[in-house]
Amino acid sequence: MSPEAPIATVGLTKRYGELTAVDNLDLELRHGEIFGLLGQNGAGKTTTILMLLGLTEPSGGTARVIGLDPARDALRVKRQVGYLPDSVGFYGDLTGRQNLRYTARLNGLRGPEAEATIGNVLDQVGLLDRADTPTETYSRGMLQRLGIADALVKDPEILILDEPTAAIDPIGVVEILKLLRQLVRERGVTILLSSHLLTQVQSVCDRVGIFAAGRLIGLGTVPELAAQFGNDTGRVEVSFEGERAAGAADRIGPTLAGLEHVESIEAGDGPADPWTLVVRPASAGREVREAVLAAAAREGLGLTAIRSTEASLDEIYRAALLQAGLHAGGREAAEPLEVSA
């Protein structure tokens, strides 16, 4: 366990009677990263968070948050860690600003210093224009952004967010994910994000930990996880000019399918939609892209874009479950993760 890691655990375990909610968790976060703890509801993510915050004691193992043991120094941990639970609550008859004043007082901030801090965090989460209206008029997305502002009032080194985009409309999701990146860039905070939403985790997290049945069964960047759990395939997306593509559709498919290392192809729904090439081995992606460029020029196919894409986190997750022996049944296999909100 590195003493400098923002969050580190060794053998962290939590049992409730015969149920092991978290089983021997070894985890270490890096400064200034967004770490996604990915798993279905009931996988043990929230229990892990509660132990990191000192809100429940572990049955075994150790945890350190900013070098502190949350089981022994829960108050000191809470002073330095901002937490957004999966169901955030505010006093509905109070304004957003008034709710934050209450939080500021709880953290020992008063007067001009508190007002300046509140103004800054409201501006950072994009709520200044609604800061003085009752929170009972806020949308779910606005409440989540206010929850992040509430967590930022104490100027924490770490943010822990439990399902921060659940039940939010797509526009609100984009705003919150953009905000998280901004917080890392401007404040240098470390973010632990718990979620069961595959696409959102893949889009914003630097590294991902796959959690299933209380165990961490995969850890790394998406490419690292793809290498660990994938079948050594890569993907190349190819787009063609709409009208020309429609006229050459009968040639595009056979041309792409005939390229070396292309295992299969999938056409887009419309003439302007990209074609997806499944490449094996994954390391042949560059060679395939070069072959596509040459073939498109030779056949006059009107190529407009070509790019390699990351492996789908959905596929990685399912492969990780299979490798962990959780495919035959149980709560993880019976209730798959959501690909999008």
H or E element at residue 65: strand 60-65
| 193-239 pLDDT tens trace | 999 988 889 999 999 999 999 999 999 998 889 888 877 788 899 99
Element (H, E) at 317: helix 313-323
Which residue intervals of the chain bear CATH 3.40.50.300? Answer: 7-228
Region 92-105: mean pLDDT is 96
Q: What is the CATH number of domain 7-228?
A: 3.40.50.300
Compute how many other C-beta atoms are within 10 angstroms of the C-beta atom of residue 70. Answer: 26
| Beta-bridge partner residues of 282 | none
Q: What is the pLDDT of residue 329?
A: 44
Of 60-69, 142-151, 170-179, the range with the lowest mean pLDDT is 170-179
Task: Please check the confidence at residue 172 and state whether its pLDDT lies above 50.
Answer: yes
What per-residue confidence (pLDDT) applies to 333? 44
Beta bridge partners of 201: none
Contacts of 58 (CB under 8 A, 6+ apart): 12, 13, 14, 22, 51, 71
* CATH architecture, domain 231-309: 2-Layer Sandwich (3.30)
- What is the rounded distance in angstroms from the CA atom of residue 93 to the CA atom of residue 255? 64
- Amino acid occupying residue 56: T
Distances in whole angstroms, Cα of residue 110 to Cα of each of 104, 121, 143: 7, 15, 23
- How many percent of the chain have pLDDT more than 90? 67
pTM: 0.81
Give per-residue pLDDT as tens, 1-24: 676 899 999 999 999 999 999 999
Burial tier of 136 (Cβ tally within 10 Å: 0-12, 13-18, 19+)? exposed
* Class of residue 75 by CB neighbours under 10 A (exposed 0-12, middle 13-18, buried 19+): exposed
Looking at the chain, which residues constitute the CATH 3.30.70.920 domain(s)?
231-309
232-280 pLDDT per residue, tens: 788 899 998 865 566 677 889 999 999 999 999 998 777 678 999 999 8
